[in-house]
Amino acid sequence: MTQPYPLLFQPEFKERVWGGRALEQFGLDIPEGHIGEGWMIADHPNGTTSIVNGELAGRGLDQVREQFGREWFGSKGFSEVNGRFPLLIKLLDCNDNLSVQVHPTDDYEGLPKGELGKTEMWYVLDAKPDAKIIYGLKDQVSRETLKEAMENGTVMEQLREVSVKAGDTFYIPAGTVHALCAGVVVAEIQQNSDTTYRIFDYNRPGLDGKPRELHIEDSLNVTAYEGSGATTMSTDGTAPGEWLELAKSPYFVVEKGVVNGAWAQSTSPESFTIIVVCDGQGTLSWDNGSIGYTSGQCFLLPANLGAYTLDGQSTVLRSYLP
């Protein structure tokens, strides 16, 4: 019988017109090209990660889900909608501006078959001194205002720009107009979805040299004009040995912790736990084993793992289902 243990995966890397080489700072062996996304823990038709450690090495997350189901993923961790793992964990390197975009909710009629909506959050791992993001609409922007701006090329005048630094966090419910901008590296925890509606893309060509498609009608339909519930916070001064809640949604809870020596934890039968190592290094140990960890690594801890200990000097994110 296979005993539960922390799972580490081979990332799926995605070339993007806005990507670069910054993910190499985490010791990741990224392919040639403009690599914008590392899908670190993924169970999606557009990318499924495979385990690289322990007894299950070589198996995809989808295979582990099918074999161990609720026992490993928890009573809340098994999606009845499409059977997939409910979350998608990414590292993003924004060497250039991303398109201005918006994501749908689960109940949007235009969703592709089998897809979920997309609520997500960002934790800024690294940011150049003048880095910023686009985060929501300015006050009083209506569907009509946004439609007119999309038609006459003045979308940027309708958007809020926010300066960012490492340690900032942004909660982005479906319906929030948003874009990461050049000079930012983030960890992203999101619903397991790959559906994005582009509002504006700076009139630039894609990787194939052709303009990328905009999704005018879908974007106008799913934007939350009265506010989506988006929240942001700086996490400076997080005390060692205490969890600071960064985001809480119907789909995930994300907390930040500073590890300074041994810190005892436990999983719950309701949900798996995901640990994203933002910086530093140390050891993750459990009942019958241990593994070293370093910045950029993302671990999936089965719900039935039970007691575990984070040791070392590091900053981590902990995610689980509410």
Regarding pTM above 0.85, the answer is yes
Q: What is the pLDDT of residues 208-224, one digit of tens each?
A: 999 889 999 999 999 99
103 annotated to bind ligand: yes
Residue 166 banded pLDDT, cuts 50, 70, 90:
very high
List the chain domain ranges: 7-234, 244-320
What pLDDT is attached to residue 238? 87
Q: Domain 7-234 adopts which CATH fold?
A: Jelly Rolls (2.60.120)
Does residue 82 register a pLDDT over 70? Answer: no
What pLDDT is attached to residue 18? 96
Query: What's the rounded mean pLDDT across residues 129-141?
Result: 95
Does residue 60 register a pLDDT over 90? Answer: yes
What pLDDT is attached to residue 176? 98
Mean pLDDT of the chain: 95
- Minimum mean pLDDT among 174-178, 229-233, 291-295: which range? 229-233
What pLDDT is attached to residue 81? 55
Q: Count of CB atoms within 10 A of residue 269's CB? A: 13
Query: What's the rounded mean pLDDT across residues 105-123?
Result: 93
What pLDDT is attached to residue 149? 95
What pLDDT is attached to residue 211? 87
Query: What's the rounded mean pLDDT across residues 158-184?
Result: 97
The neighbouring-strand residues paired with 286 are 289, 308
Residue 79 banded pLDDT, cuts 50, 70, 90:
low
What pLDDT is attached to residue 104? 97
Domains 7-234 and 244-320 share a fold: yes
Superfamily of domain 244-320, CATH level 4: Jelly Rolls (2.60.120.10)
CB 23 within 8 A of CB 66: no
Q: What would the two tokens of residue 202 be?
A: 């700076």
What pLDDT is attached to residue 39? 98
What pLDDT is attached to residue 70? 87
- Minimum mean pLDDT among 31-40, 105-114, 293-302: which range? 105-114
* Nearest Cα to Cα of residue 165 among 206, 130, 190: 130
What pLDDT is attached to residue 227? 87
Active site amino acids:
198
Query: What's the rounded mean pLDDT across residues 88-95?
Result: 98
120 annotated to bind ligand: yes
Query: What's the rounded mean pLDDT across residues 138-162?
Result: 95
- Minimum mean pLDDT among 97-111, 227-241, 271-285, 297-311: which range? 227-241
Q: Give CB contacts under 8 A, 24+ apart, made by 47-53.
A: 47/12, 47/14, 48/12, 49/9, 49/10, 49/11, 49/12, 50/9, 50/10, 51/7, 51/8, 51/9, 51/10, 52/8, 52/9, 52/10, 53/5, 53/6, 53/7, 53/8, 53/291
What pLDDT is attached to residue 16? 95
* Nearest Cα to Cα of residue 91 among 4, 24, 178, 31: 24
What pLDDT is attached to residue 80? 57
Query: What's the rounded mean pLDDT across residues 229-252?
Result: 93
